[in-house]
Structures are given as C-alpha cells and as structure tokens.
Amino acid sequence: MRKILILTSLVVGLIFSAQSQEKTQSREVGLFFHNLDVFGFRYKVGDENCKFRFTALSISAGKQDITLDNSYSDLEPSTKRIGVGLGVGLEYPVKINDRFNFFYGPELFGRYNYEKGNKEIFYYYSSSIQSTKTTSFGIGLGCIIGFSYDINSNISLSAEVVPNFFYLKSKNDDSTINSYNFELSNQQAGITISYKF
C-alpha cells in the first residue's frame, strides 16, 4: 500500500511539474471580414510559437433583380445565391514589438456555393426567361501572410492575405466545369477583430 501511495505521489508530482513547464496557451475568438458581404467566425488556440486556427461560417449571400423594358414575359431575370466556407490552418507569429506581430502559415479550406435564378435566353427573333441552378464546391491550399496589432491585452486587430491554389467544380443544368486556379487578389485579403482570453 505504501508503494502505491509513493508511486501515485511521484506521478502526480511529475504531472504538476510538467504542467508548470508548459508554455502558456492563449485562445482567441473573432469576427473575420473579406468584404461587407463575406464574413465568418474565427477561433485560435496556441502559444507564442504556433496557433491553430479554425474559420467557420464564412457566409456570402446576395440577390439580383433585373428589370427588362422590352420583355413579354411575366417572369423577370433574377438571381439568388448563398455560399459557405470552412478553413483550418496554422499561424506562426513573429514578434516585432510588444503590440505588433507578423504571422505566416499554411491553411486548408473548402467552399460550397449554390445559385438559383432566372435568365433571359435569346433566340433568332425572340427571347424567353428560363430557370437555372448552379452548384459549385472547391478545395484549396493557401499561404497565410499577415500582421496583427494588440489594441489592449484582450482586443487585437489583424490583416492578412492568403494566396492559394484552388480546385473548383461547378455544375449547372447542362454542363460540368472543373477548374484549377492560383488566386491572389483582394478576395483573399481579410481583416479579423479578435477577443483574447
């Protein structure tokens, strides 16, 4: 019995000493913006050397109505769309000063978009409105490059760009398109406002 107590005490002591030597972990939750029409929620956890980040609910939505002056149909051209994205990545921060950091790392992400609408189809001497539906999904691998600024001990603001390689499959009523792209544009730039705890 004494040996079990001594062994248990040693194990508990080793666990506490290992925990005291671990690096301090921080967590962040934030609101992420691409533009005013694409946003998401971001969660980060890690230490001063590496942070795991998860971006979810990147949502884009829109509606477009077109009024035709010379249309003989009661149905006007219109489009409704919705998109959802998910990203998982690693950030490696590089401290510039007490408040300002540079960060970089890889990110894997996916997207799903659905678009339904009516469009005008032109024939030789007439036109008609037809219903259309397009579904697309894609997966990409990007390189995170950004800067963060700590406004205070709990609030930070970061800006980043994520150039990436992206595969997209798009399917509509009568065709399927597979495309491979390298993307570096303002659509890959974003701002995050985060709360640290």
Domain of residue 167: give its range. 26-196
Is 18 among the domain residues? no
d(CA 140, CA 109): 5
Q: Quick check: is 81 in a domain? A: yes
Residue 17: inside a domain, yes or no?
no
- CATH number of the domain at 137, please: 2.40.160
For the chain, the domain total comes to 1
Asked if 114 and 104 count as a contact pair (C-beta separation under 8 A), the reply is no
The per-residue pLDDT string of the chain (197 residues; one tens digit each, 9 = 90 and over) reads 455 445 445 544 544 444 444 567 889 999 988 766 677 899 999 988 999 999 986 666 777 666 655 555 555 567 788 888 889 999 999 999 999 999 999 999 898 988 887 765 665 665 566 778 889 999 999 999 999 999 999 999 999 999 999 999 999 877 899 999 888 776 678 899 999 98
Joined tokens for residue 110? 């996916």
End-to-end Cα distance, the chain: 43
CB 163 within 8 A of CB 146: no
- Separation of alpha carbons 187 and 169, rounded Å: 19
For residue 156, tell me if it sits in a domain: yes
120 within some domain:
yes
Within-domain flag for 138? yes
6 belongs to a structural domain: no
Residue 161: the pLDDT is 92
Nearest in space to 102 (alpha carbons), one of 110, 93, 111, 90:
93
Q: Is residue 32 part of a domain?
A: yes
Length of the chain counted residue by residue: 197
